[in-house]
């Protein structure tokens, strides 16, 4: 097996893990290398395990071997050179330590031509290492093959098994003879032997083959399979809501098989009724349409997957799920995954036989009337439209349809009625009993048209000139030029020209209006579409798109992903100048994208996004009407802010509030189009993605008071993910009027760029800030999306949660994020506790002087003994304390709201807020603490900057001569090491508060 470019070979004849890292006993592993090369390994047991780099040398050359233990490991390595017989070769070793990492340099002279072993062991500790050899590589003589043989037997009878297949590293090796014997020869190395035979379970063994040591006892016993019983479940019948389905099970097995019982149960889906559930043929009555509609609404509202389906790095959002269908009056967007799950019923049958219990499952996909829908109010005719009212006690809908329409509003007395528009025109839906707010919804129905009429010299689509009569720079802009360069504009074209696995199953997303059950002028109704299907172009790569344009122009007109895929039918009253009510063709909701990008496994960006913090509708709605907050907390606000961010106009200020023109019901969080321009979104997704974002390379001037440059696509993230308090460092301290401020949450940009900290030098860009796309590289590219929401974990990760394990892809393979986080968390706990003790000391001193503490008018403290607990926290962007007084918790109060009061003989009067009693280094240290805390990575984004900021805060508090300093000094040593020290401290249990 080839690992990291070297052939791994071992001298022990044993069944063991190749890496030896899981071994219980000491092990020796041989790794082929060469002079001028390197090799790596892991030492688990010091004084026992060794890794030997086997190399060939001509002799007479002075060679130096450098061994470096992995960062964060405890290994103190040793180095020895041995000849082919195992005897040590004279040499000298020098050990040294750098940044807590063990190193050895071993120099020796090669006595003569031959094979040698560069042996690495451990004096103490354990961990991985990398070794490098100087010198000139020499071609080694060919290796001598080693004989390997053995016997395969039946584990139950010990009889030999004839005809068993033996493979080595998935390559045929031998077939056993009548005595169960096999044999062959192999080069020295590590191999995986696989043994299989009809009627037996297969077995694998990992074998190390050493030069000159034949193996003649590789004996394996295979377990016989239980009696072969095949259970196959199937279902036929009326697979529509309320329909009757016949579920049957066929059982085949050996002669004399006795069937004791059948048990049918429902595993998943809208509740069905099972009759004859103890027989081989059960009768299943599917749930009614109302139950399926309720299931659809549930799947639209709920998380797309369960917590146990997700990897450890992706948590389900805590509490109520806010990334699903919202409680508002709307046409409901329906993504493919939710629709499929709602229509799915899974039946399980268990068959108890004399040979054991066997089972199978059968899926029933109920034919529900609803289809994928974008949630727009501009819809195609003859496709059902599902509606939703704001939740209240009763519902009375009325529909006013175009003249001549026979459309019927179904379930008009429920929260979720639906109808199928049969004519073009406006369908007005009203609610008679809405307690407050909007009670009318206008839906516009139309038919598809398409715009592609030709291709240019580069093979890009040419669009109908008629569109440009309206789509001019003065009237909304010409979006076609950008669109024509995107992957949307060529997805059908490329697959038709290159794919051998393409067809109508892909057309619902890759063309305009494909729906064989609806008459609305979609591509399947183009006059030349049947001829196109019969042309033989599909799955026959070539310049097929040119042929389609020439010979099937009506089909070509509706091919690829066009304007109408995202905006609805062009031939409708919802299209054109000033639609009668609102903007039915435009919505920044991710539901629009979900009609295609919401179909796991391969197309599941939507479901990934739902699990992210960007899908938090609750937060977006809470912040929607604040012109400052909505810029980042709502997609609406960001898109209103974007022109100012990008205009480079001195007359506009990116720090100004945006004008809020949207209501809570129209508010969306950071949806797909917040970050991506749908008209210019790149051509390729997946591993080599060139997907574009709205801000790239350099950020605009940030609310944090600086600009992040050369940060690639991470610039879009950094525009919002910063401290948002202006410049904060020692150079501006005296000019600040709000010195007790805390950084805004999600201050990742400050951390990665090394900005906005006190007591240290700022501008210390972390190494991660120089990665090409910064945030995007680790959170979206290096970290795969959840397996349940991706095909082979391909594509970019739109949950945005990074895996800790990816650190080893660039750093040492054994480096985990926790190696950094443990030390930073220790420092955070230390600084946090010291700050709390300092503020308690201030309160205690002032109370001891006859004053009292006023917690913003809610509680007055006159005895320090009444303070049970103080927690360091934030309140509306300021450093704050949450105090528990005499068993009663008092909410967070900012340092500017907690006042020290004195008695003037007649009344208590405020002297000043506790902020003014705190030394400036306390306020600065508090800022540093919250900067690291609010970054959220516990130092990973910029370890040295986070470490420096916390150590400076710790040392500043220790150095204070004011109240509480003595207590702080007693509790914490200034010399106590942090992450930058020689050793990594063991994290203490964080109290996160002062308890008395």
Whether the CA torsion 7, 9, 14, 16 is positive or negative: it is negative
Please give the C-alpha separations between residue 296 and each of 344, 416, 923, in angstroms, as whole numbers: 10, 11, 52
Closest C-alpha to 425, from 410, 403, 407: 403
Rounded-to-integer distance, Cα 353 and Cα 260, Å: 5
Distances (CA, A) of 655 to 143, 597, 749: 71, 34, 17
Residue 412 corresponds to which tokens in the numbers above? Answer: 């008009």
d(CA 244, CA 247): 10
Q: Which CATH architecture does the domain made up of 238-289+298-322+342-364 adopt?
A: Sandwich (2.60)
> Given this model, what pLDDT does residue 10 score?
29
Residue range(s) occupied by CATH 2.60.120.380 in the chain: 2-133
The Cα 73–Cα 475 span in angstroms is 64
pLDDT at 793 over 70: yes
Under DSSP, the state recorded for 874 is: E
* Torsion sign across C-alpha atoms 31, 36, 37, 40: positive
146-154/220-222 β-pairing: parallel
Angle, to 10 degrees, between the axis of helix 491-498 and the axis of helix 544-551? 120
Q: Is 577 a residue whose pLDDT tops 60?
A: no
Q: How confident is the model at residue 548 (pLDDT cuts 50, 70, 90)?
A: very high
- The pLDDT assigned to 98 comes to 39
Q: What is the mean predicted confidence (pLDDT) over 103-116? A: 82
Confidence of residue 143 (pLDDT cuts 50, 70, 90): low
Mean pLDDT of 919-935: 98
Return phi, psi of residue 800, to 5°: 70, 5
Extract the tokens encoding 588. Answer: 């920044």
pLDDT digits (tens, 9 = 90+) for 817-863: 888 899 999 999 999 999 999 999 999 999 999 999 999 999 999 99
Read off φ and ψ for residue 950, nearest 5 degrees.
Answer: -75, -40
CATH topology for the 378-446 domain: Immunoglobulin-like (2.60.40)
Around 110, how many Cα atoms within 13 Å sit in the side-chain half-sphere?
A: 26
pLDDT at 3: 24
Q: Which residue has the tokens 């085949």?
A: 252
Q: How confident is the model over 126-131, as a mean pLDDT?
A: 88
pLDDT above 90 coverage of the chain, percent: 70
- For 60: left if phi > 0, alpha if psi spans -120 to 50, otherwise beta; the answer is left
Q: Which class for 658: exposed (0-12), middle (13-18), buried (19 or more C-beta within 10 A)?
A: buried
Token digits of residue 132: 């490098």
Given a cut of 60, whether residue 988 has pLDDT beyond it is no
Query: Under CATH, what is the fold of the domain 146-222?
Result: Immunoglobulin-like (2.60.40)
Residues of the chain with CATH 2.60.40.1120: 146-222
Cis peptide before 601 (omega within 30 of 0): yes
pLDDT at 866 over 50: yes
Q: Report the pLDDT averaged over residues 788-794.
A: 86
Q: What is the mean pLDDT of residues 169-184?
A: 94
Q: What is the pLDDT of residue 221?
A: 96
Please tell me which residue, 590 or 12, carries the higher pLDDT value: 590
The rounded distance, in Å, linking the Cα atoms of 587 and 590 is 8
Q: Does the pLDDT value for residue 766 go beyond 60?
A: yes
Closest CA to 935 of 746, 691, 754, 781: 746
* pLDDT of amino acid 94: 66
**Which residue would you say has higher pLDDT here, 93 or 352?**
352
| Rounded mean pLDDT, 873-899 | 96
pTM of the model: 0.77
Q: What is the per-residue pLDDT for 26?
A: 59
Distance CA 446, CA 575 (A): 9
**Can you read off the two tokens belonging to residue 490?**
């060529």
Mean pLDDT (the chain) is 89
pLDDT at 68 over 90: no
Q: Tokens in use for 756?
A: 């906005």
Pairwise pLDDT comparison (676 vs 145), residue with the higher score:
676
DSSP assignment of 461-508: EEE-GGGGGT-STTTT---HHHHTTSSGGGHHHHHHHH-SS--GGGHH
Q: Kindly compute the dihedral angle of the four CA atoms of residues 492, 495, 500, 506, in this order, to the nearest 10 degrees.
A: -40
CATH class of residue range 2-133: mainly beta
**482-492 average pLDDT score:** 95
Decide: 30 and 14 in contact? Cβ < 8 Å: no
Q: Following DSSP, what letter does each residue of 586-620 receive, concatenated?
A: ----THHHHHHH-BTTTB-HHHHHHTSGGG-HHHH
pLDDT of residue 29: 86
- CA dist 82 and 93 (Å) reads 14
pLDDT value of residue 6: 24
Strand partners, 231: 251
The pLDDT of residue 102 is 60
Residue 984 pLDDT grade (very low, low, confident, very high; cuts 50, 70, 90):
very low
The two beta strands, 181-186 and 220-222, are unpaired
- Confidence category of residue 85, pLDDT binned at 50, 70, 90: low
588, pLDDT greater than 50: yes
Please compute the mean of the pLDDT values over residues 409-435 and round it to a whole number. Answer: 94
Q: Model confidence over 70-80: pLDDT tens digits?
A: 877 888 889 89
The CA distance from 996 to 989, in Å, is 17
Residue 356 has pLDDT above 90, yes or no: no
Q: Which pLDDT value is given to residue 96? A: 52
- Cα dihedral across residues 799, 800, 803, 806: positive or negative: positive
pLDDT at 12 over 60: no
Give the pLDDT band of residue 973 (cuts 50, 70, 90).
Answer: very low
**Residue, of 25 and 858, whose pLDDT is higher:** 858
Averaged pLDDT for residues 781-785: 94
Q: Is the pLDDT of residue 536 over 70?
A: yes
pLDDT, tens digit, 9 for 90 and up, residues 498-529: 999 999 999 999 999 999 999 999 999 999 99
pLDDT (tens digit, 9 = 90+) per residue, 270-316? 999 999 999 999 999 999 999 999 999 999 999 999 999 999 999 99
Q: Residue 785: is its pLDDT beyond 60?
A: yes
d(CA 259, CA 664): 62
User: What pLDDT does residue 200 have?
Assistant: 87
| pLDDT tens-place string over residues 628-658 | 999 999 999 999 999 999 987 778 888 999 9
DSSP per residue, 686-730: STT-----SS-SSPPSPTTSS---S-TTHHHHHTTSS--S---SG
Residue 77 CA to residue 120 CA, distance in Å, equals: 7
C-alpha 783/C-alpha 831 separation (Å) is 32
Task: Reply yes or no on whether the pLDDT at 97 is more than 90.
Answer: no
Least confident of 430-439, 446-455, 653-662: 430-439
């Amino acid at each position: 097996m080839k690992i990291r470019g070297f052939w791994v070979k071992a001298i022990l004849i044993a069944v063991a893990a190749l890496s030896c890292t899981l071994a219980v006993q000491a092990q020796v592993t041989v790794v082929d290398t060469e002079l001028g090369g390197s090799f790596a390994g892991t030492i688990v047991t010091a004084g026992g395990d060794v890794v030997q780099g086997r190399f060939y040398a001509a002799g007479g050359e002075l060679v130096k071997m450098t061994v470096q233990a992995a960062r964060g490991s405890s290994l103190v390595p040793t180095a020895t050179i041995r000849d082919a017989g195992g005897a040590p070769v004279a040499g000298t070793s020098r050990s040294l330590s750098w940044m807590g990492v063990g190193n050895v340099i071993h120099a020796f002279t090669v006595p003569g031509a031959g094979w040698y072993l560069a042996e690495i062991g451990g004096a103490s500790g354990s961990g991985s290492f990398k070794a490098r050899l100087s010198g000139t590589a020499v071609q080694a003589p060919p290796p001598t093959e080693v004989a390997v043989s053995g016997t395969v037997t039946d584990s139950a009878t010990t009889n030999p098994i004839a005809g068993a297949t033996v493979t080595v590293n998935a390559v045929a090796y031998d077939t056993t003879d009548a005595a169960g014997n096999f044999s062959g020869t192999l080069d020295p190395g590590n191999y995986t032997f696989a043994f299989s035979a009809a009627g037996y379970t297969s077995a694998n063994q990992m074998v190390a083959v050493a030069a000159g040591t034949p193996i003649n006892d590789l004996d394996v016993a295979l377990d016989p399979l239980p009696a072969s019983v095949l259970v196959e479940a199937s279902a036929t019948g009326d697979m529509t809501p309320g329909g009757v389905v016949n579920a049957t099970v066929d059982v085949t097995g050996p002669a004399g098989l006795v069937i004791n019982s059948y048990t049918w149960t429902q595993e998943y889906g809208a509740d069905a009724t099972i009759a004859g559930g103890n027989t081989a043929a059960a009768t299943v009555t599917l749930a009614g349409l109302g139950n399926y509609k309720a299931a659809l609404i549930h799947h639209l509202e709920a998380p797309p997957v369960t917590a146990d389906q997700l990897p450890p790095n992706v948590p389900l959002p805590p509490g109520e799920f806010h990334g699903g269908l919202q409680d508002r009056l709307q046409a409901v967007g329906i993504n493919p995954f939710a629709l499929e799950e709602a229509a799915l019923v899974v039946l399980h049958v268990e068959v108890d036989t004399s040979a054991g219990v066997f089972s199978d499952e059968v899926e029933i996909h109920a034919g529900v009337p609803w289809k994928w829908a974008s949630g727009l109010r501009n819809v195609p005719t003859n496709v059902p439209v599902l509606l939703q009212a704001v939740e209240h006690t009763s519902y009375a809908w009325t529909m006013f349809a175009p003249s001549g329409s026979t459309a019927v509003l179904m379930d008009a007395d429920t929260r979720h009625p639906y109808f199928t528009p049969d004519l073009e025109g406006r369908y007005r839906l009203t609610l008679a009993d809405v307690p407050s707010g909007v009670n009318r919804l206008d839906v516009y129905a139309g038919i598809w048209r398409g715009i592609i009429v030709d291709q240019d010299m580069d093979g890009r689509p040419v669009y109908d000139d008629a569109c440009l009569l309206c789509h001019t720079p003065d009237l909304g802009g010409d979006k076609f030029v950008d669109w024509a360069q995107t992957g949307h504009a060529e997805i059908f074209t490329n697959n038709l020209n290159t794919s051998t696995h393409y067809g109508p199953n892909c057309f619902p997303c890759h063309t305009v209006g494909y729906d064989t059950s609806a008459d609305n002028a979609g591509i399947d109704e183009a006059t030349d579409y049947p001829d196109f299907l019969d042309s033989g172009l599909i799955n026959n790569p070539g310049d097929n798109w040119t042929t389609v344009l020439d010979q099937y122009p009506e089909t070509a007109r509706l091919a690829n992903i066009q304007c109408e895929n995202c905006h609805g039918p062009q031939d409708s009253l919802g299209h054109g100048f000033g639609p009668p009510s609102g903007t039915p063709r435009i919505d920044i909701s991710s539901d629009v994208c979900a009609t295609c990008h919401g179909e796991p496994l391969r197309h599941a960006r939507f479901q990934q996004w739902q699990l992210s913090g960007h899908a938090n509708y609750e937060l977006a709605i809470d912040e929607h009407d604040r012109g400052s907050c909505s810029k980042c907390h709502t997609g609406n606000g960001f898109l209103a802010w974007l022109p100012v961010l990008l205009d480079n106009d001195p007359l506009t200020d990116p720090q100004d509030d945006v004008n809020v023109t949207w209501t809570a019901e129209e508010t969306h969080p950071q949806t797909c189009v917040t970050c991506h321009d749908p008209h210019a979104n790149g051509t390729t997704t997946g591993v080599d993605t060139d997907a574009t974002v709205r801000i790239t390379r350099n950020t605009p001037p940030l609310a944090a008071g600086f600009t992040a440059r050369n940060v690639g696509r991470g610039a879009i993230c950094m525009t919002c993910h910063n401290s948002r308090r202006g410049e904060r460092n020692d150079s501006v301290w005296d000019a600040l009027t709000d010195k007790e401020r805390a950084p805004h949450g999600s201050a990742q940009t400050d951390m990665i760029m090394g900005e906005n900290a006190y007591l240290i030098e700022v501008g210390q860009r972390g190494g991660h800030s120089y990665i090409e796309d910064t945030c995007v590289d680790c959170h979206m590219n290096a970290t795969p999306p959840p397996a349940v929401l991706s095909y082979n974990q391909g594509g970019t990760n739109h949950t945005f949660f990074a895996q800790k394990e990816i650190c080893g892809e660039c750093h040492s393979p054994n480096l985990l994020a926790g190696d950094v986080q443990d030390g930073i968390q220790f420092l955070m706990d230390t600084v946090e506790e010291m700050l709390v003790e300092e503020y308690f000391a201030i309160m205690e001193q002032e109370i001891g002087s006859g004053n009292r503490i006023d917690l913003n008018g809610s509680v007055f403290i006159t005895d320090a003994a009444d303070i049970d607990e103080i927690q360091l926290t934030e309140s509306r962007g300021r450093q704050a304390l949450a105090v528990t007084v005499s068993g009663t918790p008092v909410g967070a109060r900012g340092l500017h709201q907690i006042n020290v009061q004195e008695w003037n003989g007649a009344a208590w009067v405020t002297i000043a807020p506790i902020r003014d009693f705190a030394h400036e280094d306390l306020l600065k240290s508090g800022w540093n603490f919250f900067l690291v805390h609010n970054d959220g990575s516990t130092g990973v984004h910029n370890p040295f900057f986070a470490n420096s900021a916390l150590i400076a805060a710790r040392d500043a508090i220790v150095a204070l001569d004011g109240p509480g300093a003595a207590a702080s000094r007693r509790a914490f040593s200034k010399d106590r090491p942090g992450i930058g020290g020689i050793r990594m401290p063991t994290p203490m249990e964080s109290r996160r508060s002062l308890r008395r």
